[in-house]
């Protein structure tokens, strides 16, 4: 069973963490062994307590206030996580961009969730079921991504689970959750349908990765 560390930031939500907690051992052969946040008020910390999962907070703003470089913060975060011996790191609502300093501790072992339909390697954009090409919504939050999709008239929305590479870029896409946009949809209505599919996509990706005998380059 793979040991999973989850990194969070969001003040509200934490639904992807909950999806992992609810699906472990049943939907995928893994267990959340710790939750880390860079914000003390991240709601996922409450979910961790309720699930009896160890958690900690390490705020990069405190390091910056002391004049410490981001490299020092990322090394401190990685070393703290190493004490839980994780096989996988999942960025679930984590908003601080991590560099090769952090990823060097967990090479090819970090997954992230993107609020858009990312392309496969070698392709410019992902082709949706209607034959059109999806806007990957790079750099946008889920709400802003959905608003952009509605404004552009696209027919499909969704999320992607991908390997966060040592270069800090988007690596191979492991799974996607895709939903059809309905006439009259608001961003809130679309989000209510996207999130369950995102959770299923995350659990599918974890099932695939956890099925590998030894964590390798996916």
Question: pLDDT digit string (tens) for 93-150?
Answer: 998 989 999 999 998 899 999 999 999 877 889 999 999 999 999 888 888 999 999 9
Burial class (CB in 10 A: 0-12, 13-18, 19+), 148: middle
Give residues with Cβ within 8 angstroms of 213, minimum separation 6.
Answer: none
Query: Which residue's structure tokens are 């839980």?
Result: 84
Q: Describe the crossing of helices 187-210 and 15-23 by its angle, rounded to 10 degrees.
A: 40
CA angle (59 as vertex; 209, 81 as ends), nearest 5: 35
pLDDT in tens, 26-54: 899 999 999 999 999 999 999 999 999 99
Q: In the numeric block, which tokens belong to residue 78? A: 């990685």
Instruction: Give how far the C-alpha of residue 131 lies from the chain's centroid of Cα atoms, to the nearest Å.
Output: 27
Residues labelled as active-site residues:
114
Question: How far apart, in whole angstroms, are the C-alpha atoms of residue 8 and residue 42?
Answer: 7
Question: How far apart, in whole angstroms, are the C-alpha atoms of residue 189 and residue 194?
Answer: 9
**Higher local confidence (pLDDT), 19 or 142:** 19
Residues 75-93: b if buried by 16+ CB within 10 A, e if exposed: eebbeebeebebbbbbbbb
Helices (H), 66-165: 70-82, 100-103, 142-152
pLDDT band at 76 (very low <50, low <70, confident <90, very high): very high
φ, ψ of residue 113 to 5 degrees: the values are: -120, 125
CA angle (215 as vertex; 214, 218 as ends), nearest 5: 125
Does the pTM surpass 0.95? The reply is: no
pLDDT band at 181 (very low <50, low <70, confident <90, very high): very high
pLDDT at 174 over 50: yes
Predicted confidence at residue 151, as pLDDT, reads 95
């Amino acid at each position: 069973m793979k040991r999973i560390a989850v990194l969070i930031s969001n003040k509200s939500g934490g639904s992807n963490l909950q999806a992992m907690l609810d699906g472990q051992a049943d939907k995928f052969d893994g267990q959340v062994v710790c939750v880390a946040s860079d914000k003390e008020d991240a709601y996922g910390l409450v979910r961790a307590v309720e699930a009896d999962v160890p958690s900690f907070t390490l705020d990069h703003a405190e390091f910056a206030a002391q004049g410490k470089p981001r490299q020092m913060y990322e090394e401190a975060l990685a070393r703290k996580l190493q004490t839980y011996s994780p096989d996988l790191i999942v960025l679930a609502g984590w908003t601080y961009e991590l560099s090769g300093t952090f990823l060097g501790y967990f090479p090819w072992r970090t997954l992230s969730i993107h609020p858009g339909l990312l392309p496969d390697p070698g392709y410019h954009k992902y082709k949706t079921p209607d034959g059109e090409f999806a806007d990957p919504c790079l750099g946008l939050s889920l709400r802003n991504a959905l608003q952009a999709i509605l404004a552009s008239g696209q027919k499909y929305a969704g999320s992607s689970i991908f390997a966060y590479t040592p270069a800090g870029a988007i690596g191979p896409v492991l799974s996607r959750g895709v939903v059809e946009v309905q006439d009259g949809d608001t961003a809130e209505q679309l989000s209510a349908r996207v999130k369950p599919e995102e959770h299923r996509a995350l659990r599918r990706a974890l099932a695939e990765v956890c099925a590998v005998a030894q964590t390798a380059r996916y």
